[in-house]
Amino acid sequence: MSTLKIKEHFGHEERHKDTTTVFGFFVYLMTDLVLFASLFAVYAVLYQNTAGGPKGSDIFVLPFVLTQTLILLASSLTCGLALLCAKKGSIRGVVSLLSITLVLGGAFLFMELYEFGKFIQEGYGPHVSGFLSAYFTLVGTHGVHIFAGLLFGTILIVSLVHSGFTRGNLRKLALFTLFWHFLDLVWIFIFSFVYLGAFI
């Protein structure tokens, strides 16, 4: 087999791998979408079932949650900028912006855990009512996804520092960006439906 044919063969394999990976990731995101849609539906059914306990408007602190939201939106911006830096070939820019993304994501997750801890300490745990069970499940599931995203991003940064802009790393960067934006979109729905909705 000639050198040209070998290059064409491996080039075709890489393109096929890219297509398969991206398709598989989109299938995963669709299953996640179904999961969150189900949790939103459960919350919609149970949010008024307080069993004599607090309503959302009694315990939610909107300025605190708004700060959380702005932090996550900022992390989504830095994540998108990292992808632009990759297109310009700046490994330092990508690593720096991804690091900022993870720091902001970590701050968001810390605030979420702080809020959970505060509610539980005040006696408003998930066992108190259907509303609180649905709330903790929906928001907690999003938090678990944020944690998974932080792990994904950390592994990606290590891989980029070690190997640079390989085809595989660029593919992982594109998928990470897609995943992070997806989590940002889900949070906007949570903020609007759960937190703002409690005061309407």
The better pLDDT of the pair 15, 84 is held by 84
Residue 46 near residue 130, CB atoms below 8 Å = yes
Total tally of structural domains belonging to the chain? 1
Tens digit of pLDDT for each residue in 109-143? 999 999 999 999 999 999 999 999 999 999 999 99
Confidence of residue 78 (pLDDT cuts 50, 70, 90): very high
Position 3 scores a pLDDT of 38
pLDDT at 175: 96
**Per-residue pLDDT at 13:** 58
* pLDDT for the residue numbered 8: 43
Q: How confident is the model at residue 12 (pLDDT cuts 50, 70, 90)?
A: low
Instruction: Name every residue whose Cβ is closer than 8 Å to that of residue 55 and which is 6 or more positions away in sequence.
Output: 131, 198
H/E stretch holding 14? helix 3-46
Tokens representing residue 42 in the block? 């459960």
Average pLDDT over every residue of 149-169? 96
Output the CA–CA distances (angstroms, integers) from residue 155 to 53, 98, 161, in the order listed: 42, 11, 10
Angle at 33 between CA 27 and CA 36, to 5 degrees: 145
Report how far apart, in Å, the C-alpha atoms of 164 and of each of 90, 94, 159 are.
10, 10, 7
**CB contact at 8 A, 81 and 162:** no
Q: What is the pLDDT of residues 164-200, one digit of tens each?
A: 999 999 999 999 999 999 999 999 999 999 999 999 8
Name, in order, each residue with C-beta under 8 angstroms of 129's C-beta and a sequence gap of 6 or more: 49, 50, 51, 52, 53
Of the chain, the percentage scoring pLDDT greater than 70 comes to: 92
pLDDT value at 6 more than 60: no
pLDDT of residue 45: 97
Residue 21 pLDDT grade (very low, low, confident, very high; cuts 50, 70, 90): confident
Query: Which tokens go with 191?
Result: 């903020």
CATH number at residue 182: 1.20.120.80
Cβ distance 129 to 50 under 8 Å?
yes
Phi and psi, residue 158, nearest 5°: -60, -45
Summarize pLDDT for 24-39 with one digit per residue, the tens: 999 999 999 999 999 9
Identify the H or E element spanning 177: helix 167-190
The DSSP output letter for 128 is S
- pLDDT at residue 163 is higher than 70: yes
Q: What is the pLDDT of residue 20?
A: 87
Question: Residue 1: what pLDDT?
Answer: 42
**Cα gap 3→90, rounded to integer Å:** 31
Residues 6+ apart with CB under 8 A from 100: 75, 78
Domain that residue 73 falls in: 3-199
